[in-house]
Amino acid sequence: MERKTLNGNQLKAIAMAAMTVDHLTWVIFPGYQKVWWILALHIIGRLAAPIFWYFVAEGYHYTHDWKKYALRLLVFAVIGHFAYNFAFGIPFVPFRTSVFNQTSVIWSLFWGLIALVINDSEKVKQWQKVLLLIGIALISFCSDWSCIAVFAILSIGTNRGNFRRQMTGMMVWVAFYAVIYILFIDPVYGILQMFTALTIPLLRLYNGQRGSWKGMKWFFYVYYPLHLVICGLIRIALHGDIGIMIGG
């Protein structure tokens, strides 16, 4: 039988490490460079997002108060907006340069949680749910990983207990994101998004336990903006105050 050897804290640590590698690669080697080892570093970065999506869905399942959870995500989405935009040279006021990458992925994580709440609500009719999800897709489109993150979270959360369906649904949405990248940003980096599939074997090893350290969630909320501020300082020191990816 397959052994479930990774707890939630360990998976989140892997996600934060992968995210840091990806972000440092962007600020040290800006633009959509095609050198193989730079692409390899960005591939490592693809391990991060699916783990964060997965644990938003898990957090929703286990939380005793989804409103407090949502408020926490919203507050850090606001903080993360300024840190993310500073890191990559993106204007703080959205849509001055592009519709892409105008704010951090935490904005999408917040709306992914709201999508799960709406989907489970017995007070909202089905047609209303469809309209609300369309609205969420529009309002989250401008963030890192766009509305794809929202629908990946929704797919993971609604298929809880069926890992294959969770991952299949997630990768279908990632494929949509890859197509958008290929058509509007960069074909090579569009294909690169599909390497999120490398996260699937790691998530399969999740044992359903949080881990002994209860401070991981607060560590993430502090670490996320802090590492982005450091990335921004590195960007300015190496390249000056310029944008280094689409949206900047």
Amino acid type, 132? L
217 confidence band (pLDDT: 50, 70, 90) = confident
Find out whether 7 and 213 touch, Cβ atoms under 8 Å: no
Q: What is the 3-state secondary structure (H, E, C) of the chain?
A: CCCCCECHHHHHHHHHHHHHHHHHHHHHCCCCCCCHHHHHHHHHHCCHHHHHHHHHHHHHHHCCCHHHHHHHHHHHHHHHHHHHHHHHCCCCCCCCCCCCCCECHHHHHHHHHHHHHHHHCCCCCHHHHHHHHHHHHHHHCCECCCCHHHHHHHHHHHCCCCHHHHHHHHHHHHHHHHHHHHHHCCHHHHHHHHHHHHHHHHHHCECCCCCCCCCHHHHHHHHHHHHHHHHHHHHHHHHCCCCCCCCC
Find out whether 212 and 13 touch, Cβ atoms under 8 Å: no
Name the average pLDDT for the chain.
Answer: 96
- Other Cβ atoms within 10 Å of 138 Cβ, number: 10
Q: For the whole model, what pTM was predicted?
A: 0.95
Find out whether 64 and 84 touch, Cβ atoms under 8 Å: no
CB-based contacts of 35-41 (< 8 A; 24+ apart in sequence): 39/188, 39/192
Q: What confidence tens digit (pLDDT) does each residue in 39-62 have?
A: 999 999 999 999 999 999 999 999
* Residues linked to residue 6 through DSSP beta bridges, in sequence order: 206
Quick one: pLDDT at residue 2?
57
User: Any idea of the CA torsion for 105, 110, 116, 120, to the nearest 10 degrees?
Assistant: -170
% of the chain residues with pLDDT over 70? 99
Q: What confidence tens digit (pLDDT) does each residue in 147-172 have?
A: 999 999 999 999 999 999 999 999 99
